[in-house]
Amino acid sequence: MNLPYQNSNLMSTDSVLTLTDLQFGYSLGPNLIDIPHFEIKAGESVFLRGPSGSGKSTLLGLIGGVLTPQSGKISICGKELTEISSGQRDKIRADHLGIIFQQFNLLPYIGVIQNCILPCRFSASRRNRALRSSHSVEAEAEALTSGLGLTDEDLKRKVGELSVGQQQRVAVARALIGGPDLIIADEPTSALDHDNRDRFIELLNQSREKFGSSLLFVSHDQTLASHFDRAVSLTELNQRVAA
Amino acid sequence: MKNMAVLSLAMRSLWARKITAILTVVSIAAAVLLFVAVENLRQGARTSFERTISDTDVIVGARSSPINLVLYSVFQIGDPTNNVTWETYEEIKARRDVAWVVPITLGDSHRGFRVVGTTPDYFKHYKFADSQSLSFREGQVFTDLFDVVLGAQVARELDYELNSKITLAHGLGGTSFVNHDNLPFTVTGILSPTGTPVDRSVFVSLGAIEAIHMGWRSGTPTPMSRLNTPDQLREKKLTPENVTAMLVGATSRVRSLGLQRDLNTYEAEPLQAVIPGVALSQLWNVMSVVERALALVSGFVIAVGLIGILTSILTSLNERRREMAILRAMGARGQHIIGLLVSEAALLAFIGSALGLTILYGVLWVFRPLLEARFSISALRLWPGQFDIGVVIFVTVSAAVLGLIPALIALKRSLSDGLTIRV
């Protein structure tokens, strides 16, 4: 990985994610999400503080295009999720989003490298971008994981034999492969101890800056907010009437 | 994402749950093996059944049911009800539309094998399979009054060779209290295996049947019966008064219907004439009840196997919720989730049914020499045929269709889970 490839040539004033008058609730229940406006610019890192019950999971489902809002707009890199089919939303997710979960990010039955290249299996554009800097997607995955401090030995081990910290770093490499526009990290540090937590966030920030990817980092832990360009509280953002 | 990629994920995912997967595959293999084996046996039984007699246009006996007549005259099963007089035999033989007649006399046995009294013409006119003639593995047809020709199975099971001496027993049962042990017979010929009841028969001349019953009254020997030595009997002219049945060949196939009608309305005595092909298919229909029951049972076993696949996948869904969420987050579409679970079901079924066929035909192949030694041409198929491939396809496709159930459940869950991993 000599020169990291840039994502889809967005200017820093362009937004990778825009939510407008977003409303969502399950058919008989109350509104869970009511967000008038929220935006992430290209290259920006945003800390979204969301305690449990603040509608965090629902919001991520909406941004990922798995849930559809009752009203309002979700736009990813200028593409309106509400105006396209679920299949096309799946494609947008594959092409533009890198997702890191709280834990258990990896499929246990395939190897570390195979886990890393999963997004390239579902997105041709990310595969092509990965091939711009390496001769194969596997080589790109190796470059990314070694950049995140994983040794060749680690790559040969089974997923279950890696420490939680190592697994989370593999998840970062996977989220970054093929340079998506927006990385969504959902409490990725909650299973890590304090020292590892800060190092993990620094690594994540450094790596995603190389690709020019924006970051939406969701956590309940306010102390992490200083690592990011901007911090937003979901409880303030979300206008839904409290039950 | 290419379909191969889904398939390779499905395979790896399955391999990670290999104990359940292997058990499921084994249950499908057993089900398919049973189903195909039953069908193969059924076909084999039917083929060897239909091969039993050929080129005989009409079988004639005393009036009873057509099936009964065929059973005792060809299959050596059941008892003849009555005899046909020698005069009738002569008259039928003299008819212009009759090319040949082979008389058969039953009623004696040798250690459980039935004795057929007949003429040397039997070996010329009795045909089986596709007009195949009987052939002698060793020796030749009987010429002397006390010569005997053995079917292949008789010789093999009782370990007889040429020139072995045997005695006949009165009656058709395995153990008889009345023996013709004063008049031993010499084995002069052993037939090659045919896969028909001929293999289980003991052949002597019509004269021999008369000779051993000389001096008998209504089925039991009188003191007179022991008076004659073999040489004295050879001197006598032994013309039978009755025969049990006759195999008749018409001068042309088209005449056999008219011949059958004439004989069924024969005035001198009540006769039964049947066309073997017709009677054989009637007989097969009687047996097809068993055949259908077997097919039904083995069909149910396949259904149980398929439900086993469904159960194993449904049970795995809970623990694989995370797997589905990860795949969805990585950009997997609904169709990929469906493809993953459907191809998993299809894979289990395909591997299982292929394994079942391999085991079945492997076993048949190993025992092939044994099967071929017993039956000149084995009626069993030794290689997978169209039917077997059809079964594999059917089982695989059914499993794929059943796989839609867990697939749709997983899809629905992955939608309600959003992009959150539920631990």
Handedness of CA A73, A79, A84, A85 (dihedral sign): negative
Chain A residues touching residue B419 (CB < 8 angstroms): 57, 60-61, 64, 66, 99, 184, 186
The answer to the question of residue B122 being in a domain is yes
The answer to the question of residue B183 being in a domain is yes
User: Do B317 and B297 fall within a single domain?
Assistant: yes
- A–B interface: beta-carbon pairs under 8 A: 89
The minimum CA-CA distance between B420 and chain A, rounded to whole Å, is 6
CB contact under 8 A, B330 and A87: no
The answer to the question of residue B354 being in a domain is yes
Q: Locate the chain A residue with the closest alpha carbon to B325.
A: A105
The answer to the question of residue B20 being in a domain is yes
Look at residue B245 and tell me whether its pLDDT is greater than 90.
yes
The answer to the question of residue B293 being in a domain is yes
What's B134's DSSP letter? P
Q: How many CB atoms lie within 10 A of CB B59?
A: 23
Q: Locate the chain A residue with the closest alpha carbon to B328.
A: A90
pLDDT digits (tens, 9 = 90+) for A95-133: 999 999 887 889 989 999 999 999 998 888 999 988 988
User: Do B46 and B114 fall within a single domain?
Assistant: no
User: Do B389 and B349 fall within a single domain?
Assistant: yes
Q: Tell me the residues of B at the A interface, defined by beta carbons under 8 Å apart.
A: 1, 5, 9, 12-13, 15-16, 322-323, 325-336, 414-415, 417-421, 423
pTM: 0.75
Who among A64, A103, A108 is closest to B419 (CB)? A64
**A140 vs A4, A91, A125, A128, A178, CA distance in Å?**
10, 22, 14, 11, 9
The answer to the question of residue B280 being in a domain is no
CATH of region A15-237, choose from 3.40.50.10860, 1.10.240.10, 3.40.50.300, 3.50.50.60: 3.40.50.300
CB contact under 8 A, B323 and A107: yes
User: Do B101 and B44 fall within a single domain?
Assistant: no
Confidence category of residue B41, pLDDT binned at 50, 70, 90? confident
CA A201-A206-A208 angle, 5° bins: 95
pLDDT digits (tens, 9 = 90+) for B359-392: 999 998 888 777 766 654 456 777 888 999 999 9
* Count helices and strands in chain A by DSSP H and E runs: 10, 9
- Total of domains in chain B: 2
Q: Tokens 């950049």 belong to which residue?
A: A147
User: Do B302 and B411 fall within a single domain?
Assistant: yes
User: Do B305 and B203 fall within a single domain?
Assistant: no
The answer to the question of residue B423 being in a domain is no
Distance CA A106, CA A83 (A): 32
User: Do B201 and B262 fall within a single domain?
Assistant: yes
- Smallest CA-to-CA distance from A53 within A221, A189, A222, A242 is with A242
CB contact under 8 A, B330 and A94: yes
The predicted model gives A216-224 an average pLDDT of 90
Sheet containing strand A15-24, strands side by side = A33-41, A15-24, A71-76, A79-80
Who among B1, B16, B419 is closest to A109 (CB)? B16
Residue B120 tokens, joined: 């040397």
Q: Cα torsion at B24, B30, B36, B39 (round to 10°)?
A: -130
Confidence category of residue B422, pLDDT binned at 50, 70, 90? low
Confidence category of residue B5, pLDDT binned at 50, 70, 90? confident
The minimum CA-CA distance between B332 and chain A, rounded to whole Å, is 6
Q: Which domain holds residue B25?
A: 3-50+288-417
Kindly give the residue spans of alpha helices, DSSP state H, lying in B177-275.
Answer: 206-212, 230-235, 255-264
Residue A161 tokens, joined: 């034999």
User: Do B168 and B44 fall within a single domain?
Assistant: no
User: Do B70 and B214 fall within a single domain?
Assistant: yes
Distance CA B84, CA B86 (A): 7
Chosen domain end from B217, B240, B274: B274
The answer to the question of residue B370 being in a domain is yes
Higher pLDDT, B306 or B229: B306
User: Do B214 and B340 fall within a single domain?
Assistant: no
This model of the complex carries an ipTM of: 0.87
| Interface-testing mutation among B419, B421, B423, with chain A (most A C-beta atoms within 10 A) | B419
User: Do B45 and B63 fall within a single domain?
Assistant: no
The minimum CA-CA distance between B397 and chain A, rounded to whole Å, is 26
Distance CA A147, CA B157 (A): 80
The predicted model gives A209-219 an average pLDDT of 90
User: Do B101 and B154 fall within a single domain?
Assistant: yes
